[in-house]
Amino acid sequence: MRKTIATVLVATLAVTSCGAQVSDADSGTAPPGYPVTVTNCGRPMTVQKPPSRVVTNDIGITELMFALGLGERMAGYVVDKGQSGGVASSPWKADFGKVPKLAEKINREVVQGADADLVFAGWSYGFSEGTGFTPDTLAKLGIASYQLTEACRNGVGKQRGIMPPLDALYTDLQNLGKIFGVSDRAEKLIREYRKQVDEVAAAIRPGSPKPKVFLYDDGRDQPFTSARNAGPDEIITKSGGVNIFADVDDSWTTVSWEAVLQRAPDVILINDYGGEVGTVADKENFLRSKAGVRDLPAVRDGHFFALPYAALVEGPRNASAVVEFGRYLAGLRR
């Protein structure tokens, strides 16, 4: 049994700052096509009508709502300072300008203050036992949760990931399409993203060498990277490379520099996010200066490529990230 928590969204609950109470206005029959039930992190989730005051956490999650044209269904979003550059460069920048930014860190007070009827977040994408902000605590407040599929826990401690990352993206699009009554829009996006990814794969010559790729997010003493269940894994593999930590059954995770040295990557994909080390240039300089790491093939040959955080976490920029990184790897093969 996977250690996930799911919440049933009951439309007859009108959320207030003091909890939940029955609203006479919502006590009638369900809208046409409702109720609907989806599977979220292995558990059923039923909605009696489309949520109307959604609070999202993190840029990729928020962009999923915008890509589906659901900005009007949102009470607001939460992103931290490290994601401000991603908002400025977002294809949905106009939507970010229309929907209120509520805070830089999500918590119970933020979502209650927004009168949220649904929180869309994920484990380590806002949900955390350490902060006490979990689907279970929200349920006690009468607020439903939808969990990002990339971050579903897989039953081994706090490890995350129950399916390949792009499948997680498509699953969330399908689920959100059903929850909000926009399935046609969701299926159209899925077809577009699959087409983009398939075209990159089709352009790779059979038998072409597959460079070993290390995703470097951040970290001086220990690097933070992508295992096989995080978005960068399929961004790398669909682009024609090999994720050097594809054997790790987790999502975003910490590894050792010794493991990086042993796997000797040919290319380093940098998460343009900031963090402890800093900018993309700071991260490149750090890798060039670190003993052992500076002798890796990727560092020695200057094979660095950067993508924004919003393109690497699960979200609607994943397919275009495959196109961009695929173009870079194709250039190395020439």
pLDDT average, residue stretch 235-264 = 97
pLDDT at 28: 54
Mean pLDDT in the chain?
91
pLDDT at 11: 34
**String of b and e for 146-165 (b: at least 16 CB within 10 Å)?**
bbbbbbbbbeeeebbbbebb
pLDDT average, residue stretch 184-188 = 98
User: Could you tell me the end-to-end alpha-carbon distance of the chain, in angstroms, rounded to an integer?
Assistant: 48
The CATH class given to the 13-162 domain equals alpha beta
Q: State the pLDDT confidence band at 320, using cuts at 50, 70 and 90.
A: very high
Least confident of 23-32, 47-56, 191-200, 306-315: 23-32
pLDDT reading at 105 higher than 80: yes
Provide the residue ranges of all domains of the chain, joining segments of one domain with +.
13-162, 205-333
Position of tokens 């955080």? 309
CB 47 within 8 A of CB 36: yes
Q: Do domains 13-162 and 205-333 have the same CATH topology?
A: yes
Strands 224-226, 252-254: pairing is: antiparallel
pLDDT reading at 10 higher than 60: no
Pick the most confident of 81-95, 107-121, 152-166: 107-121
pTM of the predicted model, to two decimals? 0.89
Task: Give the pLDDT confidence of 118-142 residue by residue, as tens digits.
Answer: 999 999 999 999 999 999 999 999 9
Looking at the chain, list the stretches that DSSP marks H as alpha helix, in order from N- to C-terminal side.
Answer: 59-67, 84-88, 93-98, 108-113, 135-140, 165-180, 183-202, 231-238, 257-263, 280-289, 297-300, 309-312, 318-333
- Selected from 3.40.630.30, 3.40.190.10, 3.40.50.1980, 3.40.50.150, the CATH number assigned to the domain covering 205-333 reads 3.40.50.1980
pLDDT average, residue stretch 109-123 = 98
Position of tokens 């649904």? 118
Task: Give the pLDDT confidence of 35-80 residue by residue, as tens digits.
Answer: 999 999 999 999 999 999 999 999 999 999 999 999 999 999 999 9
CB 153 within 8 A of CB 160: yes
pLDDT reading at 33 higher than 50: yes
